[in-house]
Amino acid sequence: MQQEVRIEEIVAGEGKAAVKGALITAHYTGYLADGTRFESSHDKGRPFQCVIGTGRVIKGWDIGLMGMKEGGQRRLFVPAALAYGERAIGDRIPANSDLVFEIELIEVLTRD
């Protein structure tokens, strides 16, 4: 069973790089491994914000977003163990689901 995040760089980006503790702003769309879309920030009409590298999002995001630059786009293939593991998330994400995220990094704010 694969236990690491696979990163597919779609667009490299040229802005600030995401680092541990940075507040990031991103648009994302999440899919189950079979291609079923379960959530998208585009549907909510606003990008998602979170602090990365500090356990506030799934481990797959903490790993997969490090070093990503503003303006960049990545596809993350996240094994269940680095997503929600044995927990089901409502009726959208079954337990033990591998997930795929398409992420567009808009902004990185660091405490310089």
**pLDDT surpasses 90 at 112:** no
Rounded-to-integer distance, Cα 25 and Cα 33, Å: 25
For the stretch 73-94, pLDDT in tens is 999 999 999 999 999 999 999 9
Domains of the chain, with CATH numbers?
Answer: 6-109 (3.10.50.40)
Question: How does DSSP classify residue 93?
Answer: B
Residue 2 binned pLDDT confidence (cut-offs 50, 70, 90) = low
For the stretch 91-108, pLDDT in tens is 999 999 999 999 999 999
Q: Are 47 and 29 in contact (CB under 8 A)?
A: no
Residue 3 binned pLDDT confidence (cut-offs 50, 70, 90) = confident
For the stretch 33-86, pLDDT in tens is 999 999 999 999 999 999 999 999 999 999 999 999 999 999 999 999 999 999
- DSSP codes, 14-30: -SPBP-TT-EEEEEEEE
CA angle 102, 108, 111 (to 5 degrees): 150
Alpha-carbon Rg for the chain in angstroms? 13
What is the H or E stretch that residue 76 is in?
A: strand 73-78
pTM: 0.94
